[in-house]
Amino acid sequence: MKLIIANRNYSSWSLRPWLVLKHFGIPFDEEQVLLNGEGWKEIIRKKSPSGKVPVLIDGDAVVHESLAIIEYLHDKYPAKGIWPSNRIERAAARSAAAEMHGGFGALRDTAPMNLRASHPGRVDFEVVAADLRRIEQIWGDLTQRSGGPFLFGNFSGVDAMYAPVASRIRTYALPVSDAAQDYVDAIYDLPAFKEWLAAAKQEPWVVDHDEIDVIQGKSGTAVGA
């Protein structure tokens, strides 16, 4: 089984299924295709039906879309606990995961994942306030019910979906409730997340359109690929 990912520093969608594979101890190989690297689009189009990463290749199965990959892993390894075992909780976890997958556009557009960076005060809070309030509500309600530290107690697929959101809160020092801050800390304490983060910090590549200076028109210089 092989997961194709992009740059660890920037590729929030790659991080999600990678965390599930790593945290649940599922053996896999990985292949990295650099965002903006030379011939990136041509390379990834040959490997991914959508021309995007992540993609999981498992024999004849070619699974694209982060959430579909997590579902595939749950199908293949039902005993791992990738989703909560209780049907009602599982439905709630999938709802929250799907809400993340299809939502929070303002946060995603204005505060791209950039794990190695620290940019406090650079994101206009008004622009992301509505997304943050909803995220705080989801995290607050679920951790209160489960007792934390993750949304359903133990780490599960829904936490993998929200991990890059947690990273944006830290990178841009976005103001959130204490409960949400605790959740961000829990994600950063997860061994699998630490492993990804350490590797992300070693990456030399800069992707301009994910850099806040470029987004905000303060610099337009492409550095590396």
Contacting residues toward ligand GSH, per CB under 6 A: 6, 11-14, 52-54, 65-67
Q: How far is the CB of 63 from ligand GSH (least distance, A)?
A: 10
Q: How far is the CB of 84 from ligand GSH (least distance, A)?
A: 21
The nearer residue to ligand GSH, 104 or 176, going by C-beta atoms, is 104
The nearer residue to ligand GSH, 176 or 206, going by C-beta atoms, is 206
Q: How far is the CB of 48 from ligand GSH (least distance, A)?
A: 8
Whole-number Å distance between alpha carbons of 180 and 202: 28
Q: How far is the CB of 109 from ligand GSH (least distance, A)?
A: 12
The nearer residue to ligand GSH, 9 or 143, going by C-beta atoms, is 9
The nearer residue to ligand GSH, 12 or 114, going by C-beta atoms, is 12
Q: How far is the CB of 90 from ligand GSH (least distance, A)?
A: 20
The nearer residue to ligand GSH, 11 or 143, going by C-beta atoms, is 11
Chain position whose Cβ is nearest to ligand GSH = 52
